[in-house]
Amino acid sequence: MSVTDVRVVLMTVPDAETGRSITRALVEDRLAACGNVLEGLTSVFRWNGQVQAEAEALVILKTSSERVAAMMERARGLHPYDVPELLALPVMDAHAPYVRWVLDETRAGPSA
């Protein structure tokens, strides 16, 4: 077990309900240990040559490094956007029992 085996994945979604739905599927599939859905975001971005501003929600997912690719693939399949934001960030330090829990919850089989 190493803290460097954990990843935080950021994903924006059009609304909190979409975020909860995708997060639930990822947790049920053991691709994420948990996810936080934060409402009230405004994203400003360039799309199709124009600057736009849209209300969104942010999902913060915790997973293991070995499950990131599968989690991103599943999230892309569930996501309504053509180009969803999915950013996996390394964890530099963390509470050891939390790291163990994330790794246990993202194993392919039942929890240890």
Phi-psi group of 51: left, alpha or beta (phi > 0 → left; psi -120 to 50 → alpha; rest → beta): beta
Domain 3-105 maps to which CATH number in 3.20.190.10, 3.60.110.10, 3.30.70.120, 3.90.1480.20? Answer: 3.30.70.120
Mean pLDDT of the chain: 94
Q: Are 91 and 8 in contact (CB under 8 A)?
A: yes
For residue 111, the model assigns a pLDDT of 46
Mean pLDDT of the 60-72 span = 97
Residue 74 to residue 25: CA distance in whole angstroms: 9
Cβ-in-10-Å burial (0-12, 13-18, 19+) of 23 comes to: buried
Residue 112: pLDDT above 50? no
For residue 1, the model assigns a pLDDT of 66
For residue 2, the model assigns a pLDDT of 76
Structure tokens at 47: 């799309």
- Give the confidence band of 55 by pLDDT, cuts at 50, 70, 90: very high
For residue 21, the model assigns a pLDDT of 98
pTM: 0.92
- Give the confidence band of 32 by pLDDT, cuts at 50, 70, 90: very high
Q: Strand (E) positions, the chain?
A: 6-13, 34-47, 50-64, 86-90
For residue 13, the model assigns a pLDDT of 98
